[in-house]
């Protein structure tokens, strides 16, 4: 069941609430999305539901079948490969720019989120780790300071977070991801040109992990 964060949601929060439910697996792949039921669960009118479903379809999280309805989109191996190909182009550039533009404040922000990531790994808390990893990439994007890059990366946020959850289901992936994040952080702070290559290696590992989990048939329960 989808849960509202308060007594009810404003219409502007419907898309974020649905996106989070899909990313977290509350709404499983293949689930039918009823305008009436979702509106009731979120305590909003039906008015924003159709546009919310359309927005999530544009993000690659929902499939709308004309005259049939909306469904949570299944994650396929092709989806994984395509998303990680685009991520590599965007995030390798972000690391390159971040290394050129790193400041003392940016370095401190990276250190803070790395500490949160380390704590999550030590606690074996994959959910907290993914949240911290989201912040790590957001900080890198902020340091890179390129609005066009940020806008294109933001358009992938839902599918990317969904795949991160899937990838972390593979044994050992969380620690491997953290160790690579440490190296990426070091490259950025040192203004090293090796950062993009490290990011590419990180993404290859994440892509392989997601594909492995999907191959085991776990995508339905992981979302």
CA distance 113 to 217: 32
In this structure, the answer to whether residues 150 and 42 fall within a common structural domain is no
Q: Please, which pLDDT band fits residue 217 given cuts at 50, 70 and 90? A: very low
Residue 219 pLDDT greater than 60, yes or no? no
Contact status, residue 222 vs residue 212, Cβ threshold 8 Å: no
Answer with the one of 40, 56, 72 that is the final residue of a domain: 72
**What are the tokens at 164?**
């991160």
Decide: helix, strand or coil at residue 72. Answer: strand
Q: What is the pLDDT of residues 140-191, one digit of tens each?
A: 999 999 999 999 999 888 888 888 888 888 888 999 999 999 999 999 999 9
Read off the CATH number of the domain in which 171 is found: 1.20.120.530
Label each residue of 106-144 as H, E or C. Answer: HHHHHHHHHHHHHHHHHCCCHHHHHHHHHHHHHHHHHHH
In this structure, the answer to whether residues 114 and 184 fall within a common structural domain is yes
Decide: helix, strand or coil at residue 32. Answer: strand
**What pTM does this model have?**
0.80
Answer with the one of 30, 53, 72 that is the final residue of a domain: 72
Q: What is the pLDDT of residues 7-64, one digit of tens each?
A: 444 557 888 889 888 888 888 889 999 988 888 888 888 888 888 999 999 988 999 9
Residues forming a β-bridge with 119: none
In this structure, the answer to whether residues 92 and 202 fall within a common structural domain is yes
In this structure, the answer to whether residues 91 and 147 fall within a common structural domain is yes
Among residues 30, 59, 89, the alpha carbon closest in space to that of 161 is found at 59
Q: What is the pLDDT of residues 79-121, one digit of tens each?
A: 899 999 999 999 999 999 999 999 999 999 999 999 999 999 9
Question: What local confidence, expressed as pLDDT, does residue 2 receive?
Answer: 60
CA angle 66, 8, 41 (to 5 degrees): 45
Indicate whether 3 belongs to any domain: no
Rg of the Cα atoms in the chain? 18
Among residues 105, 4, 16, the alpha carbon closest in space to that of 52 is found at 16
In this structure, the answer to whether residues 90 and 119 fall within a common structural domain is yes
Read off the CATH number of the domain in which 64 is found: 1.10.10.10
Answer with the one of 41, 72, 103 that is the final residue of a domain: 72
In this structure, the answer to whether residues 65 and 123 fall within a common structural domain is no
CA distance 120 to 102: 25
Contact status, residue 169 vs residue 217, Cβ threshold 8 Å: no
Domain count, the chain: 2
Which position has the token pair 């685009």? 86
Question: What local confidence, expressed as pLDDT, does residue 1 receive?
Answer: 52
Largest CA distance in the chain: 56
């Amino acid at each position: 069941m989808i849960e509202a964060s308060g007594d009810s949601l404003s219409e502007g929060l419907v898309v974020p609430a649905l996106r989070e439910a899909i990313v977290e697996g509350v709404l499983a792949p293949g689930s039918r999305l009823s305008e009436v039921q979702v509106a009731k669960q979120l305590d909003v009118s039906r008015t924003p539901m159709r546009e919310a479903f359309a927005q999530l379809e544009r993000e690659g999280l929902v499939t709308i079948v004309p005259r049939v309805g909306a469904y949570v989109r299944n994650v396929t191996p092709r989806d994984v490969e395509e998303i990680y190909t685009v991520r590599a182009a965007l995030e390798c550039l972000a690391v390159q720019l971040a290394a050129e533009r790193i400041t003392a404040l940016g370095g401190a922000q990276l250190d803070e989120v790395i500490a949160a990531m380390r704590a999550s790994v030590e606690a074996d808390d994959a959910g907290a780790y993914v949240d911290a990893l989201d912040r790590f990439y957001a900080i890198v994007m902020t340091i890179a300071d390129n609005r066009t890059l940020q806008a294109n990366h933001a358009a992938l946020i839902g599918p990317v977070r969904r795949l991160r959850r899937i990838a972390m289901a593979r044994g050992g992936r969380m620690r491997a991801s953290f160790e690579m994040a440490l190296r990426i952080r070091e490259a950025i702070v040192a203004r090293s040109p090796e950062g993009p290559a490290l990011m590419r290696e990180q993404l290859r590992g994440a892509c392989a992990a997601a594909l492995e989990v999907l191959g085991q048939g776990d995508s339905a329960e992981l979302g």
